[in-house]
Chains A and B, each alone.
Chain A
Amino acid sequence: MNAMVETDIRVRGAVETRSERPKLSVKDFKGRVDPDWCPGCGDFGVLAALKQAIADLGLHPHEVMTISGIGCSSNLPGYINAYGMHTLHGRALAVATGAQLANHELKIIATGGDGDGFGIGGNHFLHTMRRNVDLTYIVMDNQIYGLTTGQVSPTSIKGMQTKSTPFGSVENPINPIPLAIAAGATYVARGFTGQQKHLVELIKGGIQHKGFALIDVFSPCVTYNHENSHEFFKQRTQKLEDIGHDPTSFQAAMEKAYMWGDVIPIGLFWKRSDLPALDELEPVLAEGGSLAHRPLGVSPQAAKALISELM
């Protein structure tokens, strides 16, 4: 608690005198409550990597907002010292788009599960990428519904037995990587909680990228998915930089995105910097800073001017 109070004071100080802003450490981003995740859950790794990435980038809590839907993973905003919003199941990206346009100076980080983002929230997923909204979307992809205790998810592999697919899933899973590339995301990466340093770099890259950044993270559910475990990914994941990859090549990105077998690539698949983000296309945001810091409504002078023009 004491550490928290100190952080708050330091942050406030930082707002006042930006020139002498102190660099914060991971500790400063510790939230007020401890995660309620199962011991061994991959989501701990994502939380740790996210805090590290934010600290490495020299950001302060008031410059970051985490926004989630509903799920085990979606509880993350409660566990980090930054602005946070826990929304409805599947709605994180819709809320995040609103937050980004209201304050485009904030670093918006949407977090959640594969069910939340690719299932019930799939529509927002497509349109937020299409619009190239400037935010970082970290999906804790455990290929199962964790919070509802182990039903099939849109990324469960074909044939997987779950509570809701006792004979094995007959459906093809979503592969979020090629989907994101095709839909217009401008930074598309995949991480693994078993590769922390690598994950931190991917998240940092995503936050620094201007535009929509997807980081799909293998974040194993130790309780309900015994197939796609930490061990499973440890044996199969290989870094794209080791395999050899050019993330500016659409064709190479798509080819690597479809690799799934003895070798499953992780790393930055695709990045392009030539497309404007949504806030850059919005004339209202072109000057005057973020909407959040502007006076709301019509000023008396503006109202007067308008009336005299119309009357």
Chain B
Amino acid sequence: MSVAVAKAKSDQSDVYEREELLNGCQAVAHGVRLADVDVIAAYPIRPYTEVMDALSKLIADGQFDAEYIIADSEHSQFEIVKHASSVNARAFGGSSGTGWMYGMEALVVTATDRLPPLFVVGNRALDDPGAFGVEHNDAMAVRDMGWLLCWVTTPQEALEHVLIGYRIAEDKRVRMPMGLAMDGAFLTHSQHMVKVPSPEAAKKFLPQYDLAERRLHPDNPISVAPQINEDWVMELRRQNWEAAKRARGVIKEAYKEFNDVFGERYSAPYYFEEFMTDDAEVVLIGIGTVAAPARTAVRRLREKGQKVGYVNLRWFRPFPTVELRECLSRFKAVGVVDRDFAHGSPDNGGILMHEIRSCLYPAKQRPAIVNFMGGLGGRDLSIADAQKMYDITQQAAKKDSMDGFVTWIGLRE
């Protein structure tokens, strides 16, 4: 990754308290502790379960104090989180796969009520058939509902994005729920050394949550989500739309502030990061842990003199339209890796491909695009698979037809 864990500047040496071996779930739990979350609602489902287990352990060990409520299903879990958020409590929830979908009704109203809790989604294939491996369709299901949605690729980023996520979501210009997604197993359950910020540094970065005039409180008798029928729906939708638009600017601000406190951790344009793209002709773009094999493939192909690079998309909502358009129009061909499916969609592609193609349509210089469906249900995407995807994308740069537009990678024939 182009962004390495930065060496803290001299005056920032105390921003990290310790370094610890943590997996993605445990890192999120520490993020929740450092964000000083008030209310946690939990209901188990793999791979998210380890987040709630880790939080329970932090509380039991006396390292963290929060209301920890066990719900009887995701539906009630998400409703508890939403309502806690409406009384000005910083609230946290999470789930995976079918559990995320089961609570969908509550997830939608959290966005339309413009409340800013944070939810972690440990990406998991949707049932049926029962499988625990990663697929992105679960988190993607909220993509059009007025949610902030971002993916992280390391436990370090996972921890930090709990803080960054609340910072953005709670900003009064935004007030949208935040979905922090991470690949099931590959990230939720793989351990890395993680620099754990000090509570002081976290506090310095993340202001107190203040819902101000919309706070439900005996001193502020307001009514949440009254029935308004057709009269004002359109205006409310427009408010959601404006908030999502404004969020783009707030995201940039948040990363800059994060860097001010923690050293140069993230570089512009923040929404995505580029790896060896400076003189690249062909790139792959993907979401989540596929970055690891892709980057290794890039290094190997570069040794052979091939001009390839990788773009890791971090923010999916709001979508970084302008920045990504500018970035991708520099290349001859772009291969989009979808760890999701959109059956029956235009050209039978994946969700990410559609977003990227649509984003590139107004570009003056449009790269050739090909689409890869891979790693579904947690199937491994190997370095060899990534090299194959680079091969196909390089071929696409030379040809004009749509033949073989979508390739399924690693499919048993």
Q: Does B202 contact A (CB under 8 A)?
A: no
| A211 at the B interface (CB under 8 A) | no
Chain A proximity mask over B83-102: 1 for CB below 8 Å, otherwise 0: 00000000000000011001
The answer to whether B73 and A163 have CB atoms under 8 Å apart is no
Residue of A nearest to B61 (CB): A166
Flag if B53 contacts A164 (CB, 8 Å): yes
- Contact A119 B44, CB 8 Å, known A86-B130, A164-B52: no
Encode A116-153 as 1/0 by CB contact (under 8 A) with B. 00011010000000000000000000000100110110
Interface residues on A, range: 10 to 19
With A70-B130, A145-B44 given, is the CB distance from A152 to B56 under 8 Å? Answer: no
Interface string of A79-116 (1 = CB under 8 A from B): 00000001011100000000000000000000000000
Assess whether B72 is in contact with A148, with CB atoms less than 8 Å apart: no
Contact yes or no, B72 A120, CB < 8 A? yes
Contact of B45 with A by CB under 8 A:
yes
Is A148 in contact with B44, judged by CB distance below 8 angstroms?
A: yes
> C-beta contact mask, B40-78 vs A, less than 8 Å → 1, else 0?
001111100100110011011000000010101100000
Return the contact of A119 from the options B46, B49, B72, B102 (Cβ within 8 A). B72
CA gap between A83 and B174 in the complex, in Å: 52
Q: Which residues of A contact B19 (CB under 8 A)?
A: none
- Is A119 within 8 A of B130, CB to CB? no
Identify the closest chain A residue to B53 (Cβ).
Answer: A163
Give the CA-CA distance A271 to B46 in the complex, in Å.
40
The verdict on A119 contacting B73 (CB below 8 Å), with A163-B56, A164-B56, A166-B56 known, is: yes
Check A148 against B56 for contact (C-beta < 8 Å): no
The number of chain B residues with a CB under 8 A from chain A is: 21
Contact between A148 and B59 (Cβ–Cβ < 8 Å)? no
Q: Does B391 contact A (CB under 8 A)?
A: no
B45 adjacent to A148 (CB under 8 Å): yes
Q: Give the residues in chain B near A70, CB-CB below 8 Å.
A: 127, 130
Which chain B positions have C-beta within 8 A of A145? 44
A167 and B60 contact, CB distance less than 8 A: yes
Closest residue to A148 on the B side, CB-wise? B44
The tally of CB-CB contacts under 8 A between chains A and B is: 48
| Bound CA–CA A120/B102 (angstroms) | 10
Complex alpha-carbon distance, A120 and B71, angstroms:
9
A164 and B44 in contact, given A88-B127, A148-B49 (Cβ under 8 angstroms): yes
Q: Taking each of B45, B57, B59, which has the highest tally of chain A beta carbons within 10 Å of its own beta carbon?
A: B45
Smallest CB-CB separation from A91: which chain B residue?
A: B102
Instruction: Pick the contact of B60: A88, A120, A148, A166 (CB < 8 A).
Output: A166
Chain B residues with CB under 8 A of A164: 42, 44, 52-53, 56, 68, 70
Closest Cβ of chain B to A39, distance in Å, is 22
Q: How many angstroms between the C-alpha atoms of A158 and B76 in the bound complex?
A: 21
B53: which A residues are within 8 A, CB to CB?
A: 149, 151, 163-164
Q: Give every chain B residue within 8 A of A119 (Cβ-Cβ).
A: 72-73
A167 to B46, CA, bound (A): 23
Chain A residues closer than 8 Å to B56, beta-carbon distance:
163-166
Indicate whether A154 reaches chain B with its CB closer than 8 angstroms. yes
In the complex, the answer to whether B73 meets A90 with C-beta atoms within 8 Å is: yes
Contact flag A152-B70 (CB < 8 Å), given A164-B42, A164-B52:
yes
Give residues 118-145 of B contacting A (CB, 8 Å): 127, 130
Which residues on B sit within 8 Å (CB–CB) of A148? 44-46, 49
Q: Contact between A89 and B52 (Cβ–Cβ < 8 Å)?
A: no
Question: In the bound complex, what is the Cα–Cα distance between A163 and B29 (angstroms)?
Answer: 15
Beta-carbon contact of B72 and A151 below 8 Å: no
Interchain CB contact (< 8 A) of A151 among B57, B70, B99: B70
Cα–Cα distance between A120 and B99 once the two chains are bound (Å): 11
CB distance from A293 to the nearest CB of B (A): 27
Most buried by A among B45, B49, B98, B102: B49
Q: B72 touching A154 by the CB < 8 A rule?
A: yes
Q: Quick one: which of A88, A149, A164 has the most chain B CB within 10 A?
A: A164
Q: Are B57 and A166 in contact (CB under 8 A)?
A: yes
Minimal beta-carbon separation of B82 from chain A (angstroms): 18
B interface residues (Cβ-Cβ under 8 A, vs A): 42-46, 49, 52-53, 56-57, 59-60, 68, 70, 72-73, 98-99, 102, 127, 130
Q: Can you list 9 A-B pairs, Cβ within 8 angstroms, ordered by A?
A: A86-B130, A88-B98, A88-B102, A119-B73, A145-B44, A148-B44, A148-B45, A152-B70, A164-B68
Please provide the 8 A-B residue pairs with the shortest distance between their CB atoms, ordered closest to farther: A166-B60, A148-B44, A120-B73, A119-B72, A151-B44, A164-B70, A163-B53, A148-B49
